Structure 1
């Protein structure tokens, strides 16, 4: 294995003077004296400028990539129809949920000078994402871009608009739909159909901004989605929604200040809107690749891609027009195999296999390719080259990560040593603006090998607060560590500064010198990051070290619509993951539940048990329960949403419970503790 270096690539070496200083300090670990005198330096919570090391790193990017190639800017601008100047979208309370004016510092034109505090490649994609407004893709297909993280697409049918992927929030979707009808050049049209390409919230959350449940119930609008859509959409946003939502604050930079030292671009779009996320359950589930559909007079077929970028996803082919819609299976960036907000690891091999199928079925016929993020591509030669490289970025990452894994390398070692071939490395649409080769190779390792490295010392490690105190004790004093870290910071080794100072902060979060220097290191790493997600993570970490944990902001994924669309089984699964096992220890309770408001053909009777500190459920109803409850499912979800407390639900006139059973049921539900709003803002960079 000697052909691969295990050492860190591009890690600055200490100068002789710094090495001597480090050795001198190490000789007297408890004295607290610093040969460099850095304890007299001023550690502050202020945002800093780019250091010389960051300037050098970003200059290398400029010299490595072909910034003179502006074909993407031509594509991003092609078909432009209209845009609204000073775009700000408000909710019913007159609060802004989308404010593009705060990104006005990012010019949409190539050649605009990149700030020193932004990676030039990330700046370039931010500029491209600032091409917003109404665009005509081709023939009868229009897109509105820049009204949310994702694009909303409108296809002109016989009677109205077929809408693909209606954004995150109902407010942004409503504004986009109005702008389309006001500016496309014809009379205003209604929505005739909606298509959800997949189960991520930025592709369905705005649906109530363009259609109502009444429209669907009256069958004036049909909603199409891939098989398994509802289950996946609900479970992803609820079961682990609290932790994912908190980490999404980091990943998308949604509450960071906009500017050259803050949020610039998420890589997939600018950021996420903060309006109301909604859901209307699909009327038609698609399960077969290639089956022809005629929707409002438009012929199309779907390619099923479950387990690719999303658990339930599908591409669309418009045969009459030779147009290919790629959902989010390809965009103009390398995507995530494991998103930093948290999710199940995606299967890179399966993803690449689906893209091979796309190429074989549609590649040589496609003259336009577009998707739910970024901008389209026109011309068959360009599309084929694009699709092959998109496929190969996932296949290469998979194959080479597994090859190194089978040679005995761990995830961290693989991520340090894996390199792309020049054909993928210097190709703009496979750059790591969102996913990165580093964390995607980690994801491949995790998918096959899990969390355990194989080294016995990793099998039962101490939690980080305990370990942090021991690390600092072994390294000397907190002052010693901070002083050495300051020297490494001045040498430009921000990754190592981040590694060691996290121990000081977790050992003593009152050490402001450590917190502020760690924030400075995160900040420089953010300034250097090509990935919008990495930049946001680093800068949000720096923000919280300096200012503390925020208490508001971001997008609520476990919204009313999503909770209301949970099946009884999902509801009980949610109860299970929120069971306080300590409180329930030693308890044994059995409850029969009948949901009074379900349809006649729906399963309405269940038995819930708490035993061994576990909540289980079954449709095999108990003959001897400790309590019985007949309750509308709507009442149960009202409790879950915090709109009704348990006592009120048990005493509600629509709930059938005997007085003897009320105390049992009150005890039963006292063991279930869903996260409170305050639980969302848990600590991440501090103990």
Structure 2
């Protein structure tokens, strides 16, 4: 496999998660004392893949190197909090010229390509990117007087470092505008590292975003945010060291920065399907693409430069139709159609295509090739899956039946790194038909820990299951092994021998995966089965700017999610909430164990009326002040039965991040106690 012979100038970029105990490992040693080397069956599969994939096509390596200007002399970027926000060196083992039998060779190829680190010229004198400073790229477009910044990364610290590098290498110019391509955190979270909010508020620096940006940037991961953050342990391998046996890559970049995530609200909203705008002498045509990679997203075309910015709609990988940390299922057909619109609207003349992740493509023929490959892969995913579903193939079968056409399998731009063919195909069925396979036996199934003891009893107990599991493991029948061992682990959560054997099975399945999201999920499952959840292992989540950006109605909605209906019982009450500085009024009503709210109304006979300025309510939401402290300070006024407020406090549950996913892994208390009305930070949407 020829991964490294064209990478002379690509240096290692990596993430050292501040919340993770992970460190990079020596390439030959497993980080876990219980960890296993790739089995003979896994090695055979890896070797077959090396011989079947189109490694002779090295154009991506050439394009990834093109335009390199400079890399900084430092290897780490520190966060303001004192932790390491970004560590380049922890993935350097990928650049040592070794092929690893514990990594799918296609994934290793992508992981090496994502090692690009430094400043790159995309279009001479006009467009530049800093890559390898975060999960996403940050792009600098030179206007008449300064920089137009596209997608300022996840963290203030990494974005500021990128701007400093650009100014050192290209001359110091002010930032004259910021463009958010879409509503995921790795594309706006570092905005405070490139622009001062006062300059935005004064109108000196416009912040441009697609319609719906603020709603989705804040709300997309509120309702199930705690569960999403916990599931990030799986998809992003939060606990896995950077190692050939652990975290290798995140497909669209190495991983996300562990720094200060912020948000400055956009001041210019792109509302139409296409809008043309000139900013600092640069003419741009924005294409709104809602319902693709994000609910609010837009491409940008530079007609005078023949340059097409593909946001996160076209990258070096097929993306998630269903993202494993959790999100609404996306529309593969709409995604395909929007790429087609871009192809015919801009792709006929574009000479460079660049995006928020990976590397640019150069030359019109090459651009059209990549656009068509991705258009057709999403289109076939939708149509091919539905073709099979209409013949009776169910959600529980589709991932073993649906195949990507051979012609697409041999195009690197159509490989499924961020998504996987398996979980994306199931997502399409779920989008149109839901989770049920139409077999009544699966409509209201027992919970796994209720059904598992019967399976174990019928199989003769733990001893024969473990014996058969070892036999299947030795034979390389890992998916059969996980079927029976998973049942045993649910039936006997304290059976460490069973958990260790299931971990061994998960590990071999993980080694064989092309998608790092799927790989990480299996390897993270193995880690937790072997070691449990370490105390203090919490992923970086969204910062106070996100909570500040929440609408009052959204905050009230989440209080309804946090309400413990059993504690509420048959209690009923009505609260009027008034925020006079924003002229908002709400009725909050508890009845039938449900806490509901409606905006624009006041109840005539409310049990309690709370009057508080929205600015002071934000302090409560952010946890910088409690509601009691605001009342005591005269910033909140109560009219009516104050006991109602005390009752509501007692009904609200604080969700803990450390809940158990796999049986017997010892759910840990990872979330500190906080004021009852404080809004927990939403989940991190980085990566989409």
Residue 93 of structure 1: CA displacement?
A: 3.0
Residue of 633, 638, 644 corresponding to 1:652: 633
Structure 1 residue 138 corresponds to structure 2 residue 123: yes
- The answer to whether the 8 Å contact 1:150/1:269 transfers is yes
- The worse-fitting range, judged by mean Cα deviation, of 472-481 and 633-642 is 633-642
Q: What value does the CA root-mean-square deviation take over the aligned residues?
A: 1.5
CA distance in 2, matches of 1:552, 1:322: 49
What is the aligned partner in structure 2 of residue 526 from structure 1? 510
CA distance in 2, matches of 1:512, 1:199: 42
- The answer to whether the 8 Å contact 2:54/2:411 transfers is no
What is the aligned partner in structure 2 of residue 16 from structure 1? none
Structure 1 residue 84 corresponds to structure 2 residue 61: no
Structure 1 residue 127 corresponds to structure 2 residue 115: no
What is the aligned partner in structure 1 of residue 617 from structure 2? 636
- The worse-fitting range, judged by mean Cα deviation, of 365-374 and 284-293 is 284-293
CA distance in 1, matches of 2:98, 2:474: 26
What is the aligned partner in structure 1 of residue 377 from structure 2? 393
Structure 1 residue 317 corresponds to structure 2 residue 301: yes
CA distance in 2, matches of 1:266, 1:304: 26
> 1:518–1:642: structure 2 CA closer, same or farther, 3 Å change rule?
farther
Structure 1 residue 53 corresponds to structure 2 residue 41: yes
- The answer to whether the 8 Å contact 1:401/1:441 transfers is yes
Residue of 490, 496, 518 corresponding to 1:512: 496
What is the aligned partner in structure 1 of residue 11 from structure 2? none
CA distance in 1, matches of 2:286, 2:538: 33
Q: Secondary structure at the match of 1:291?
A: strand
CA distance in 2, matches of 1:277, 1:240: 19
> 1:495–1:639: structure 2 CA closer, same or farther, 3 Å change rule?
farther
Residue 649 of structure 1: CA displacement?
A: 3.7
Residue of 104, 112, 116 corresponding to 2:101: 116
Structure 1 residue 343 corresponds to structure 2 residue 343: no
Q: Deviations over 1:364-403 (max 9, x none)?
A: 1110001000000000011111101100000101101001
> 1:310–1:657: structure 2 CA closer, same or farther, 3 Å change rule?
same
What is the aligned partner in structure 2 of residue 159 from structure 1? 145
CA distance in 2, matches of 1:194, 1:255: 34
- The answer to whether the 8 Å contact 2:285/2:302 transfers is yes
CA distance in 1, matches of 2:581, 2:523: 48
> 1:275–1:255: structure 2 CA closer, same or farther, 3 Å change rule?
farther
Q: Deviations over 1:488-527 (max 9, x none)?
A: 0001011222222122112122111111111111111111
Q: Secondary structure at the match of 1:211?
A: coil
What is the aligned partner in structure 1 of residue 156 from structure 2? 170
Residue 555 of structure 1: CA displacement?
A: 4.1
CA distance in 1, matches of 2:35, 2:580: 57
Q: Secondary structure at the match of 2:176?
A: strand
What is the aligned partner in structure 2 of residue 260 from structure 1? 244
Structure 1 residue 670 corresponds to structure 2 residue 650: yes
Equivalent residues in 2 for 1:30-45, closer than 5 Å: none
Residue 190 of structure 1: CA displacement?
A: 1.7
What is the aligned partner in structure 1 of residue 192 from structure 2? 208
Q: Secondary structure at the match of 1:665?
A: helix
- The worse-fitting range, judged by mean Cα deviation, of 211-220 and 636-645 is 636-645
What is the aligned partner in structure 2 of residue 70 from structure 1? 58
Residue 45 of structure 1: CA displacement?
A: 5.4
Residue 560 of structure 1: CA displacement?
A: 0.8
Q: Secondary structure at the match of 2:383?
A: helix
Residue 554 of structure 1: CA displacement?
A: 5.2
What is the aligned partner in structure 1 of residue 84 from structure 2? 96
Q: Secondary structure at the match of 1:363?
A: coil
Residue 646 of structure 1: CA displacement?
A: 4.0
- The answer to whether the 8 Å contact 2:80/2:259 transfers is no
Q: Deviations over 1:166-201 (max 9, x none)?
A: 1111111111111111123x2x11211111101111
> 1:189–1:568: structure 2 CA closer, same or farther, 3 Å change rule?
same
- The answer to whether the 8 Å contact 1:149/1:273 transfers is yes
Residue of 236, 261, 283 corresponding to 1:299: 283
CA distance in 2, matches of 1:555, 1:89: 18
Q: Deviations over 1:328-360 (max 9, x none)?
A: 111111111001111000001111111111111
CA distance in 2, matches of 1:674, 1:635: 22
How many residues matched? 631
What is the aligned partner in structure 2 of residue 179 from structure 1? 165
Q: Secondary structure at the match of 1:238?
A: coil
Residue 250 of structure 1: CA displacement?
A: 1.4
What is the aligned partner in structure 1 of residue 585 from structure 2? 605
CA distance in 2, matches of 1:496, 1:183: 56
Structure with greater proportional helix content: 1
Q: Secondary structure at the match of 2:519?
A: helix
| TM-score, with length taken from structure 1 | 0.90
Residue of 528, 533, 537 corresponding to 1:544: 528
Residue 644 of structure 1: CA displacement?
A: 3.2
What is the aligned partner in structure 1 of residue 13 from structure 2? none
CA distance in 2, matches of 1:304, 1:115: 41
Q: Secondary structure at the match of 1:657?
A: strand
- The answer to whether the 8 Å contact 1:488/1:494 transfers is yes
Q: Secondary structure at the match of 1:587?
A: coil
Q: Secondary structure at the match of 2:370?
A: helix
> 1:170–1:422: structure 2 CA closer, same or farther, 3 Å change rule?
same
Q: What 5-or-longer segments of structure 1 have no aligned partner?
A: 1-43
Residue of 566, 572, 587 corresponding to 1:588: 572
- The answer to whether the 8 Å contact 1:80/1:133 transfers is yes
> 1:458–1:584: structure 2 CA closer, same or farther, 3 Å change rule?
same
Q: Deviations over 1:415-448 (max 9, x none)?
A: 1111122210111111111111111110000001
- The answer to whether the 8 Å contact 1:250/1:540 transfers is yes
Q: Secondary structure at the match of 2:95?
A: coil
Structure 1 residue 683 corresponds to structure 2 residue 667: no
Q: Deviations over 1:253-283 (max 9, x none)?
A: 2331111111110111111111121111110
CA distance in 2, matches of 1:638, 1:671: 21
CA distance in 2, matches of 1:198, 1:488: 46
Q: Deviations over 1:89-123 (max 9, x none)?
A: 11123210111110111119xxx321121111111
- The answer to whether the 8 Å contact 1:522/1:539 transfers is yes
- The answer to whether the 8 Å contact 2:573/2:607 transfers is yes
Q: Deviations over 1:15-43 (max 9, x none)?
A: xxxxxxxxxxxxxxxxxxxxxxxxxxxxx
CA distance in 1, matches of 2:550, 2:540: 16
What is the aligned partner in structure 2 of residue 32 from structure 1? none
- The answer to whether the 8 Å contact 2:399/2:421 transfers is yes
What is the aligned partner in structure 1 of residue 14 from structure 2? none
CA distance in 1, matches of 2:74, 2:141: 26
CA distance in 1, matches of 2:279, 2:611: 42
What is the aligned partner in structure 1 of residue 225 from structure 2? 241
Q: Secondary structure at the match of 1:412?
A: coil
CA distance in 1, matches of 2:220, 2:431: 18
Spell out structure 1 runs of 4+ moving beyond 4 A. none
- The answer to whether the 8 Å contact 1:650/1:662 transfers is no
